[in-house]
Amino acid sequence: MKKIFSILLSIVCFTSINAQTVTGKLVDHDNQPLPSVQLKLYSSQYTYITASSADGSFTFSNITSVNSEDELPSEYYISNNFPNPFNPTTRINITLPTPDNVRMQVYNILGQEVIELTEKYFSAGLNYFDIKLDGLPNGIYLAKFTIGEKYTSIRKLMLIYGSQHLSTSHIYNFTTNNKLFKTPLATKFDSLVATSTIIGKKKFTNLPLMSGNSLSLGNMIIERYCISMPTVTYAGKTYNTVQIGTQCWLKENLNVGNWIPGNQEQTNNQTIDKYCYNDDENNCTTYGGLYQWAEAVQYKNGASNTTSPNPAFSDNVQGICPTGWHIPTKAEFESLKASANSSSNALKAVGQGTGTGAGTNTSGFSALLAGRRDISSNFTSLGNGALFWNSSGFASGNGYLMILWYDDKNINMDYGAKSYGFSVRCIKD
C-alpha cells in the first residue's frame, strides 16, 4: 500500500564526542542542589557516565564510552541516523537488552521498497545497520525496523547528492570498529538520564547541540514535589509535598488540632488535640504539633496508649492525616530509610544537626529537630532530635518510631511509650 508522509526535517550532522566536555548542575524546583545523582548522557553512538557533586554540578570530561559488556541497556533503543543528510551511506545504532532478531526495510515516500528486506541476529548491547542508497534520487526515505516481532520503529532519512553539508572536509567515514572520525560539525545528544534512590529516574530530552569542544547545559531542574500535587491544603494550612523514590510525603510536620498544655493527656473527645513545644503555639507553627500515639491514629479499632487495636491494623490508618493520606507504617519508614541510603543527614533540613550529623536534605524530606513531650509532661530534645510516630504498635503501651539525632548520621528505628508526644509526618495512600 502506498503512503504519503508529511515531514518536517532539521538538518543536523552528528559525530563522536571524545575529548569534549559537557557541564551542568542538577537542582530542584527551589533551586536547591541535588548531589550524588548518577547521570548518563546518551548520544547516537555511546553512553557516558558521571555523578553530580555536593553542589549539584556535573561534568562529562574527556568522555569515554561505556563498555556494553559492563552495562547492557534495559530497553530497546533505535537512534536517529548519522550523518543526516547523507551521501550515500548513513548509520543507525540499535541497542538491545537481550539478543534478538532485527529486520530492516527501507521505503521511499510513496511506500515503495527501495532496499530488499535485511535481517540480522544481534547480540545484547550496541549494534548498527549501515544503509547505502547508491543511485537513488535525492529525497526523504523511511527505514522501518522490527525487533523480534515485539517492537517496531521508523526513522526518516534524507539523501542529498552534492550537499554543502557533506563537503570533503566534513564527510563522516565508517570504520570496521564502529567508530566515526573527521572534523565534527555538531554533536547531538539523545537524552540525559538522572537516577538515584531518592529522585527515582528523570529523563531530559531536546538537549542543545554541541558545536564546539564544550557545552554548558546550565541548571537542569528536577521537580521534587509529587506529580500533579505540589501542595495539599488541610484544616486551613498548606503543606508542600516531596517525592522520595516511589513515596509521596508531606514536606512539613503535621500541625493540626486544638492546642492543649503539656500537663494534660490527649483523649478520645471527637476533636484533635496537639501539644506545642514548651506550650508555645509559635513552636507548633515552626515545628508542627506533637501527638500521643493513640491521638495520631485517632483511636482506630479501639486503640489507646495502653492497649493495642483490636483487630490489629491491616490497612492504611488515616488518623489525623488529610483524606488520601495516612500515618506511615514501619515498613514505609524502612523504605524511606533505604531511599536515603540510611543517612539521617539526607532527611534533615540544612542547618539541623552538627558534625557528622549535619543535615544535607538531599532527600527534600526537610526534617526539623522538633523535640518531644515526655511521659512526665516535660518538653525535651528541641534541636537534638526528630521523632516520628508510625502506625505499627510494638506492644500494648509502646509504638514504633523513626528517630533522627543531631549528632548521628544514622536513621534509627526504635519504640517508645505511646503516651509520649512525637511528630507526625503523613504519606500519600
Domain ranges of the chain: 21-222, 231-428
Residue 180 clears pLDDT 70, i.e. is over it = no
- Round to whole Å and give the CA distance between 60 and 73: 20
- Residues 15 and 166 sit within 8 Å (Cβ to Cβ): no
Helix or strand (DSSP H, E) at 287: helix 281-287
pLDDT digits (tens, 9 = 90+) for 88-141: 888 888 888 788 899 999 998 888 888 888 888 888 777 888 898 888 888 999
Report residue 5 as a C-alpha cell.
508522509
Q: Is 395 exposed, middle or buried (0-12, 13-18, 19+ CB in 10 A)?
A: exposed
Report residue 242 as a C-alpha cell.
516531596
- Round to whole Å and give the CA distance between 290 and 425: 11
> Bridge-partner residues for 385, per DSSP?
405
- Quickly state the pLDDT bin for 160 (edges 50, 70, 90): confident
pTM (2 d.p.):
0.67
- Round to whole Å and give the CA distance between 359 and 405: 10
Q: Which of 425, 256, 259 is nearest to 349 (CA)?
A: 425
Tell me 239's DSSP state.
E
Q: Which of 191, 186, 171 is nearest to 90 (CA)?
A: 171
CATH hierarchy code of domain 21-222? 2.60.40.2550
Give the residue-averaged pLDDT of 213-225: 91
Lowest average pLDDT, out of 12-21, 168-177, 186-195, 322-331, goes to: 168-177
Give the residue-averaged pLDDT of 268-292: 97
- Round to whole Å and give the CA distance between 373 and 362: 28
Q: What is the pLDDT of residue 297?
A: 97
Residue 13 clears pLDDT 80, i.e. is over it = no
Query: Starting from the edge strand earliest in sequence, which strands make up the sheet with 57-60, in order?
Result: 57-60, 21-28, 214-222
Top pLDDT among 392 and 387 is at 387
Q: What is the pLDDT of residue 45?
A: 64
Q: What is the pLDDT of residue 363?
A: 93
- Round to whole Å and give the CA distance between 102 and 93: 12
- Residues 229 and 241 sit within 8 Å (Cβ to Cβ): yes
- Round to whole Å and give the CA distance between 71 and 97: 10
- Quickly state the pLDDT bin for 14 (edges 50, 70, 90): very low
- Quickly state the pLDDT bin for 16 (edges 50, 70, 90): very low
Top pLDDT among 85 and 318 is at 318
- Residues 156 and 142 sit within 8 Å (Cβ to Cβ): yes
- Round to whole Å and give the CA distance between 83 and 174: 10
- Residues 52 and 248 sit within 8 Å (Cβ to Cβ): no
Q: What is the pLDDT of residue 209?
A: 83
208 half-sphere exposure, CB direction, 13 A CA radius: 12
Tell me 213's DSSP state.
S
- Quickly state the pLDDT bin for 70 (edges 50, 70, 90): very low
End-to-end CA distance of the chain: 51
- Residues 133 and 104 sit within 8 Å (Cβ to Cβ): no
Mean per-residue pLDDT over the chain, rounded:
84
- Quickly state the pLDDT bin for 210 (edges 50, 70, 90): confident
